[in-house]
C-alpha cells in the first residue's frame, strides 16, 4: 500500500467511522426524488444529471424527464430533438446523447436490464468511474467507490491529505482510500453519506464542523486545517469570442433557426443564425448581410439592432450583438436551416444565450405595443 494511504489509515477507527456516518445519513438524509426508487435506470438518470450540477437544479429536470421517459425502453425509443428538449438549460448536452446511446445499448445487448457488473456498466458511453461506482453501490448495493468532488473534499479533510484534487491521479488515490474504508455491509448509505455530508456539513466554505457526526475522526479538524483543505489548483482564464446574430423573420411570418453541428460546443442544439465577428472591423455588418443573402437566399428588407447578449460558458465567453432582420426568402432554405412558425419554436431545444436573445426580442414587441 502506498505511503499516503498507509499514513491515512494509521490510528483510524474504521468501524466507528462507518457506523457514525451511516447512522447520521439514515437519520438526516434529504428526501430526494431519486431516493424513492430502486430502479437502476432512474438512479442512472439522476447520476448523469447530477454531474457537475446542483441538486436544486436537477430536481425539476429529473421529475419532468421521468414523466416523459418513465422506462429505459421509452428513453431508448425517443427522438434526438425530444431528449435535447428534455435537457434544455441543464448544460453539458453530450450527457443526454451519451446516455441515450448507452441506454440503447442496454436495450439491445443486455435485454433492457442495466448490467450489474461494474466493468460492463462503465464501458457504456457517458459512464465514467464515478457514475459506475455510484449506480453499482446505490442501485445494487455493491461495495464500489464513487469518488466525486464531495468525496475528495471530505476525505481530504478527514485524512488531512494535501494532494491536488484537480489532478486526475488524485482521484485514484481516493478510490483506493474508499476501498479501504467503505462499509461492506452498507455501501449505498456509506457512499451517499459521504456525499450528503459534503453537501450539508462539510461544505466547501465554512464547514459546520461542530455539527459533524464524524468530527472525532477528522484529522484536518484536529489540526485546525479544515478550511485549508482540500488543495486545488486554480484554473486559467477563459477566452472571449464575439458573434453577430439575428432573429430572422421571413415575409410569411416564420422564423429562421439553425441546428448546430453534431460535435463541439452546444452540439446538436438549435440556434438563431450567427457568425463570428472581428472586433473593430467596420465591415462586420456588411459581411453579416452577405452571409444572410448567400446562405439563406434572403433579401433583407429591415435590420435593426436588438441587444448584446453576454454569456459565460465553462471555458469560453460569448458576446453576441443581436439584430432583428425581416426579409424575403426566394428559395426553400436547406439544412441545417429551418423556417418555423412561432408556435412551433417551443419544440426545439435552445441553449441559454439564444433563449436570452429571444426574450429580448419578445420584450421589444411588448414595449412597442406589438406584443400579445
Partner DNA sequence: CATCCGTGGGT
Partner DNA sequence: TACCCAAGGAT
Of 4, 28, 91, 340, the one binding DNA by CB under 7 A: 91
Question: Closer to DNA at the Cβ: 12 or 92?
Answer: 92
How far is residue 136's CA from residue 44's CA, in Å, rounded to a whole number?
9
Which of the 8 DSSP states describes residue 261? Answer: P
How far is residue 238's CA from residue 106's CA, in Å, rounded to a whole number?
38
Question: Closest separation between CB of residue 264 and DNA, Å?
Answer: 4
Helix axis angle, 94-109 to 40-49, nearest 10°:
160
105-127 burial: b if 16+ Cβ within 10 Å, else e: ebbeebeeebbeebeebbebebb
CA nearest to 156, candidates 232, 229, 233: 229
Of 83, 127, 136, 249, the one binding DNA by CB under 7 A: 127
How far is residue 19's CA from residue 362's CA, in Å, rounded to a whole number?
56
The rounded Cα 8 to chain-centroid distance in angstroms is 33
The size of the interface with DNA (CB under 7 A), counted in residues, is: 61
Q: Is residue 134 within the footprint of DNA (CB under 7 A)?
A: yes
Contacts of 364 (CB under 8 A, 6+ apart): 306, 324
Draw the binding track, 17-56, toward DNA (x: CB under 7 A; -: no contact). ---------------x-x-----------xx--xxxxxxx
Q: Which residue has the cell 434526438?
A: 80
Q: Is residue 130 within the footprint of DNA (CB under 7 A)?
A: yes
Q: Is residue 312 within the footprint of DNA (CB under 7 A)?
A: yes
Q: Is residue 106 within the footprint of DNA (CB under 7 A)?
A: no
Q: Is residue 228 within the footprint of DNA (CB under 7 A)?
A: no
Contact positions with DNA (CB under 7 A) in 136-165: 148-150, 153
Peptide bond into 230 cis (omega under 30): yes
Q: Per CB under 7 A, which region of 88-96, 103-111, 211-219, 282-290 contacts DNA? A: 88-96
Examine the residue annotation and report whether 47 is marked as an active-site residue of this protein: yes
Q: Per CB under 7 A, which region of 113-121, 166-174, 299-307, 330-338 contacts DNA? A: 166-174
- The residues annotated with a catalytic role in the active site are 47
List of residues contacting DNA (CB under 7 A): 32, 34, 46-47, 50-57, 89-94, 98, 125-132, 134, 148-150, 153, 167-169, 192, 195-196, 198-199, 203-205, 232, 234-237, 264-267, 311-316, 351-353
Amino acid at each position: 500500500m502506498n505511503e499516503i494511504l498507509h499514513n491515512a489509515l494509521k490510528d483510524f477507527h474504521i468501524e466507528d467511522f462507518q457506523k457514525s456516518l451511516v447512522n447520521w445519513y439514515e437519520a438526516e438524509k434529504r428526501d430526494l426524488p431519486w431516493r424513492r426508487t430502486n430502479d437502476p435506470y432512474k438512479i442512472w438518470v439522476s447520476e448523469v444529471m447530477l454531474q457537475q450540477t446542483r441538486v436544486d437544479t436537477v430536481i425539476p429536470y429529473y421529475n419532468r424527464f421521468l414523466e416523459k421517459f418513465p422506462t429505459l425502453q421509452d428513453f431508448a425509443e425517443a427522438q434526438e430533438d425530444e431528449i435535447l428538449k428534455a435537457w434544455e438549460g441543464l448544460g453539458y448536452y453530450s450527457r443526454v446523447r451519451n446516455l441515450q446511446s448507452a441506454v440503447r445499448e442496454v436495450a439491445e445487448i443486455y435485454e433492457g436490464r442495466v448490467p450489474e457488473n461494474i466493468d460492463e456498466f462503465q464501458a457504456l458511453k457517458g459512464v465514467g468511474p464515478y457514475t459506475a461506482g455510484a449506480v453499482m453501490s446505490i442501485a445494487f448495493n455493491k461495495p464500489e467507490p464513487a469518488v466525486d468532488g464531495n468525496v475528495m473534499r471530505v476525505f481530504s479533510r478527514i485524512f488531512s491529505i494535501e494532494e491536488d484534487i484537480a489532478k486526475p491521479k488524485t482521484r485514484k488515490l481516493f478510490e483506493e482510500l474508499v476501498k479501504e474504508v467503505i462499509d461492506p455491509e452498507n455501501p449505498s448509505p456509506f457512499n451517499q453519506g459521504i456525499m450528503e455530508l459534503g453537501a450539508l456539513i462539510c461544505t466547501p466554505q465554512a464547514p459546520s464542523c461542530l455539527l459533524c457526526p464524524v468530527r472525532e475522526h477528522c484529522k484536518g479538524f484536529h489540526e485546525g486545517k479544515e478550511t485549508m483543505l482540500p488543495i486545488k489548483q486554480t484554473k486559467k482564464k477563459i477566452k472571449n469570442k464575439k458573434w453577430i446574430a439575428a432573429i430572422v423573420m421571413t415575409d410569411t411570418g416564420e422564423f429562421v433557426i439553425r441546428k448546430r453541428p453534431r460535435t463541439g460546443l452546444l452540439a446538436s442544439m438549435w440556434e438563431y443564425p450567427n457568425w463570428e465577428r472581428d472586433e473593430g472591423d467596420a465591415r462586420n455588418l456588411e459581411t453579416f448581410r452577405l452571409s444572410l443573402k448567400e446562405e439563406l437566399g434572403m433579401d433583407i428588407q429591415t435590420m435593426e439592432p436588438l441587444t448584446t447578449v453576454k454569456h459565460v460558458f465553462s471555458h469560453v465567453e460569448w458576446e453576441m450583438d443581436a439584430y432583428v432582420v425581416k426579409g424575403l426568402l426566394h428559395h426553400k432554405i436547406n439544412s441545417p436551416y429551418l423556417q418555423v412558425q412561432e408556435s412551433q419554436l417551443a419544440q426545439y431545444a435552445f441553449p441559454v444565450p439564444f433563449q436570452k436573445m429571444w426574450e429580448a426580442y419578445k420584450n421589444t414587441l411588448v414595449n412597442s405595443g406589438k406584443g400579445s
